[in-house]
């Protein structure tokens, strides 16, 4: 995911893969490769946009980004 030998990067990557496997693929049989790809894409879209993350103060990435842009705009206005 990031730097070579960084245990923090490895932990974040492992967490992502573990969540994907547990929530999307565990115990499921997909009838086609297309079905599997669609299910994984939908999960990744959810995880990257709407799921609340503890590293972001329990905000979704979309909420965090909106908050960041508002803060940046206020700093520019001041």
**Quick one: tokens of 21?**
């496997």
Across 33-49, average pLDDT? 91
Q: How confident is the model at residue 11 (pLDDT cuts 50, 70, 90)?
A: confident
Per-residue pLDDT, 17: 86
Domain ranges of the chain: 7-77
**Quick one: tokens of 38?**
């669609």
Q: What is the pLDDT of residues 45-54, one digit of tens each?
A: 888 788 888 8
Whether the CB-CB separation of 3 and 12 falls below 8 Å is answered with no
Per-residue pLDDT, 72: 80
Q: Where would I find the H helices in the chain?
A: 7-20, 33-49, 61-77
Is the whole model's pTM more than 0.85, yes or no? no
* Cα 63 to the center of its chain, rounded Å: 13
């Amino acid at each position: 995911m990031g730097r070579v030998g960084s245990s923090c990067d490895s932990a974040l990557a492992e967490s992502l893969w573990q969540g994907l496997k547990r929530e999307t693929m565990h115990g499921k049989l997909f009838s086609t490769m297309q079905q599997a790809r669609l299910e994984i894409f939908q999960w990744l879209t959810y995880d990257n946009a709407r799921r609340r993350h503890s590293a972001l103060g329990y905000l979704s990435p979309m909420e965090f980004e909106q908050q960041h842009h508002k803060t940046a705009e206020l700093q520019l206005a001041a």
